Structure 1
């Protein structure tokens, strides 16, 4: 039977609208995709798309491949802040995109976003960056800030849209004319798997109180303030424990070494736990999770701790104060101020157990309302459909 031309055209359009896309994600470390974007990758794979991770190789590569992704190694100098030394990265990304021939690229972290978006534009490939934080360049001197502004302005000009993880960062970028208002989409970080990070009962109130900071050992994360505040609080509350969990000596110019962390154990009473592949048991054993960072996109550790039902203490800065509602699910302190952090810790120690439980429940409720990973996955699905004209497929 011969079908009318209109029916043939309609079927061809339906087939084109659901074809399998090749999506490349690029970031400055494979572990970043595994730790922070795994649910997004899972959603893209579940929709039937081919997904390639373009990043420096590390121990997370095998896990990404087991998940169903392909992996393409990318050589880059993570520590360098000199943009003129990054031409090699630009050409490496240009060659990779030309070889991989993706339908769309999703970018994360400043160098991959800026140089990757320019390379993709030259090849006619849509690029969607996600501003996960401002990076060291924004927190450094005026020269580096001006260079970062120029890079963002030039590279993001051709992007169909730009994801931000909090409204402060999106307002900053639009105010500086680095992006247009019509490009901005705000998502709740990377979202949180509320089943994997299930709510857990608060630890008993009758033993030593445990504060826990989870972060890479970087100056910009407020590690020094945490260490100094711990020493202050121990003077009035000597039984209190201060735990520090996270990798030392990372590829960042503000990183502290493991040797320094062990020195803090001796001089300030910190308990350094090193890195961990699963933070949940550590959060469950803590009474309060602390992050005195200088600025964040959407801090994963606070989101995970709130999902498990732990009160939070964080600096009153973009990213952190999106998650911590002062007096509700946690307490806010002044950024770069160890005394202010110590004061917030003392306030927490003076509370009753029921107040802690109420704060923990408020945090869990907020994560359910606002930070479910489904919100982020659906935002990416809508963006991909709008830009490519392709809807998700599930076979």
Structure 2
């Protein structure tokens, strides 16, 4: 970026600074990177405070200033969490950002508490889904949910704060619990996809490939997917069931390596692991399946739609918002392997319907999920135009 005709003093006082606060670097790269790169092209100074895996150099090479945090997604130690809040406070004081964008539960709550009374022009918060805390009905989850609701209310309910929701149900949950007011809400359906990268791809020939593309978490319906595969295998079905993604040991709902190996060793499923070239991966599938218990708006489903794949997913918040039922895909009840296997068998046996759904999915992605529209909305939020 050239500023050859601009005095250094003027440059420093006119550059807008934006700070993202996120739990981990890879999630930011997966869901927010195109927005950050557009900001840099438009003269913003972009910072990110987050937990670090192996992606720090990648972010810095793109011009993003990285501030490592000791934050973990599953940590609950009081003293460690207080330490993270202090780290965030230090970063905010050092940068003095004009805008902060808070992402994920801890990013929203900790970042919201730290920045609530700071001199910040605009605070944007992304609720990408309510997570296992709002899904699980165990005693521990209900207690955490009570605490999280109180903290959300304290952290987010200010006039300079806009909250991005990916589906109406999550938005209504926040309003009904008096966490925020309706004037703060903005609905953006998903993180968007680059339609020039995710192109329509004809289905592969041969055995049908039924794909699960997500982290290997039980609350994403992984067990139901594998059990549906078991049922269909026993009935003589000859298609392939493929898992694309890895175990997530930082998430309490992750499948264990032993459980995964049992399914793989029995020949029920194939495990392709974590793969980066998602358009190429989806090109190898005939159907995309995500039988999740609840989502914000699952990226794998809109990626599959853009590539022309019919989708089977559950009739729950987030998932049902990603498809047009019986047009781009099929809805089944959550936690039902039997209903899931019926839907898989039906679509595998009906080539005409499946291919038609894939083409309609491409139309839906062009209409509703284009990354250009998502970026434009974010830019207007950062500028205070929304």
**Shared fold (TM-score, shorter chain, > 0.5):** yes
Alpha-carbon distance in 2 for matches of 1:345, 1:68: 44
Alpha-carbon distance in 2 for matches of 1:81, 1:201: 46
Residue equivalent to 2:4: none
Deviations 1:23-57 (A, max 9, x none): 01111110111112121112111211010111111
Alpha-carbon distance in 1 for matches of 2:192, 2:110: 26
Structure 1 gap ranges (5+): 1-14, 390-395
Residue equivalent to 2:94: 99
CA contact (8 A) 2:124 2:382 kept: no
Alpha-carbon distance in 1 for matches of 2:374, 2:337: 34
Q: CA deviation at 1:59?
A: 1.8
- With over 3 angstroms needed to count, the CA separation of the structure-2 counterparts of 1:219 and 1:83, relative to structure 1, is farther
Deviations 1:241-285 (A, max 9, x none): 100010213321221244432221123611011111112222101
CA contact (8 A) 2:46 2:64 kept: yes
Which one is further off, 82-91 or 141-150? 82-91
Matched, 1:372 2:370: yes
Alpha-carbon distance in 1 for matches of 2:79, 2:378: 32
Deviations 1:60-92 (A, max 9, x none): 222212222111101113213567862222222
CA contact (8 A) 1:216 1:250 kept: no
TM-score relative to the length of structure 2: 0.91
Alpha-carbon distance in 2 for matches of 1:309, 1:20: 41
Alpha-carbon distance in 2 for matches of 1:147, 1:268: 43
Residue equivalent to 1:179: 180
CA contact (8 A) 1:132 1:297 kept: yes
Residue equivalent to 2:282: 283
CA RMSD of aligned residues (A): 1.9
Structure 2 gap ranges (5+): 1-9
Alpha-carbon distance in 1 for matches of 2:236, 2:151: 48
Residue equivalent to 2:33: 38
Residue equivalent to 1:166: 167
Alpha-carbon distance in 2 for matches of 1:155, 1:246: 33
Deviations 1:171-209 (A, max 9, x none): 1111221110100000121111000111111122xx211
TM-score relative to the length of structure 1: 0.89
CA contact (8 A) 2:48 2:67 kept: yes
Matched, 1:295 2:298: no
Residue equivalent to 2:246: 247
Give runs of aligned pairs for residues 380-395 of structure 1, distance below 5 A.
Answer: 380-386=378-384
What is the SS of the residue equivalent to 2:283?
Answer: helix
Give runs of aligned pairs for residues 124-163 of structure 1, distance below 5 A.
Answer: 124-125=119-120, 126-140=122-136, 141-158=141-158, 159-163=160-164
What is the SS of the residue equivalent to 2:89?
Answer: helix
- With over 3 angstroms needed to count, the CA separation of the structure-2 counterparts of 1:244 and 1:136, relative to structure 1, is same
Alpha-carbon distance in 1 for matches of 2:23, 2:236: 41
Alpha-carbon distance in 2 for matches of 1:377, 1:83: 36
What is the SS of the residue equivalent to 1:122?
Answer: coil
- With over 3 angstroms needed to count, the CA separation of the structure-2 counterparts of 1:73 and 1:84, relative to structure 1, is closer
- With over 3 angstroms needed to count, the CA separation of the structure-2 counterparts of 1:268 and 1:172, relative to structure 1, is farther
